[in-house]
Amino acid sequence: MNARVRQGLGLAFIAVFLWSFTVPATKVAVQGFDPVLTAMARPVIAAAVAIPLLGLRRVPFPPRHLWRPILITMVGAVFGWPILLALALQSTTSAHAAVIAAFMPLSTAIFAVLLARERVSGAFWVAACVGTVALVAFALTRGGLAGGSLLADLLVVGAVLLSSLCYVQGAMVTREMPGWQVISWVVVFSLPVALPATVILWWTTHGSFETTGTEWGALLVLGLSSMYIGFFAWYRGLHLAGVAYGGQVQQLQALLTLGWSAWFLGEPVTWLTVGAACVVIAAVAWAQWTRTQSSVGRSIDSPSVTPNT
């Protein structure tokens, strides 16, 4: 494994580390804000930083051929994942949703092969499937069999597919601009929808909540870290390590989230979850070990990949 790949995996892990605070922060934020308002406010908060940053760096507007992948990334990252998941959680449990969400790294790898034309080995697919099964088992130990409904399951499936698609599309755009610019334009492109929605939801719902400073802080974490800064490291990491291989690092996110939930929210940790966590960690390491020189050569930087595929 060369230095470029190691750097990419390290950056992907930094992103996953930052995103692992999303669930605990969301649980805190929705105590003081409407759940849909929480989702809509995330890109607005991120854009409040992105616009001055783009201006200070005098970044030109994206060329027309990049609009399509940026818009697809926006649909998945800004609206698809947070809104569909929020709607699903109204009729299912977070543990049950986690059973389906466990397939996200695997679906990201599938999109990377289909759209970004990456090549991975058969051993990689075995490792990815083992990690996915371990994540499903991990979710089941948290009560993942309970609380299911067909509509909720379909919503989570849609959220997973849109999120995986936005990872691949956004990473493909990094062939022509840095990752921080990609996510900056993503949140800027979302403003015509996100800003009016945030204002309307604030006007119509905020009077029914008594918001504390902690809840405001959690909302800022969601907007700045989960929606914005985390993607700086994520897209750069996928660019360097390849989407399929780098995306498997996200299997570690559920384990980190469990740690924060146990620490901050007092949720229990059993030996079964510890065992599942060890298998997940081993599967992520195995997936990276299966990397071959040919797969590295056909990563996101392959000349055959076009950003508007």
Give residue-wise pLDDT tens across range 164-221.
999 999 999 998 999 999 999 999 999 999 999 999 999 998 777 888 999 999 999 9
Q: Quote the mean pLDDT of the chain.
A: 83
Please tell me the pTM assigned to this model.
0.81
Contact criterion met (CB below 8 Å) for 256 and 16? yes
C-alpha to C-alpha distances, 287 to 99, 115, 123, 238, 284, nearest whole angstrom = 21, 20, 8, 15, 5
Is 309 contained in some domain? no
Q: Is the pLDDT at 270 greater than 80, yes or no?
A: no
**pLDDT score recorded for residue 222:** 92
| Angle (nearest 5°) at CA 165 between 45 and 142 | 80
- pLDDT tens per residue across span 53-83: 999 999 999 999 999 999 999 999 998 888 8
Q: Is the pLDDT at 307 greater than 60, yes or no?
A: no
* Domain span at 138: 3-297
Q: Is the pLDDT at 308 greater than 60, yes or no?
A: no
Is 303 contained in some domain? no
Is 56 contained in some domain? yes
**pLDDT score recorded for residue 208:** 77
28: confidence class by pLDDT, cuts 50, 70, 90: confident
d(CA 136, CA 103): 8
Q: How much is the average pLDDT of 102-125?
A: 88
SS3 of residue 309 by DSSP = coil
More confident residue, 90 or 189: 189
Highest mean predicted confidence (pLDDT) among 4-13, 75-84, 114-123, 275-284: 4-13
Lowest mean pLDDT among 75-79, 149-153, 250-254, 299-303: 299-303
**pLDDT score recorded for residue 13:** 94
Six-digit token pair at 59? 């970044």
Is 20 contained in some domain? yes
**pLDDT score recorded for residue 299:** 44
Contact criterion met (CB below 8 Å) for 13 and 246? no
Q: Is the pLDDT at 147 greater than 60, yes or no?
A: no
Is 304 contained in some domain? no
Is 41 contained in some domain? yes
d(CA 99, CA 277): 14
Contact criterion met (CB below 8 Å) for 226 and 22? yes
**pLDDT score recorded for residue 218:** 92
Six-digit token pair at 57? 């760096």
Is 65 contained in some domain? yes
Give the count of domains, the chain: 1
Contact criterion met (CB below 8 Å) for 8 and 241? yes
Lowest mean pLDDT among 107-111, 115-119, 131-135, 257-261: 257-261
Lowest mean pLDDT among 82-96, 163-177, 226-240: 82-96
d(CA 204, CA 189): 24
More confident residue, 24 or 250: 250
d(CA 158, CA 100): 10
Q: Is the pLDDT at 297 greater than 60, yes or no?
A: no
**pLDDT score recorded for residue 301:** 45
d(CA 24, CA 8): 26
More confident residue, 235 or 92: 235
Is 143 contained in some domain? yes
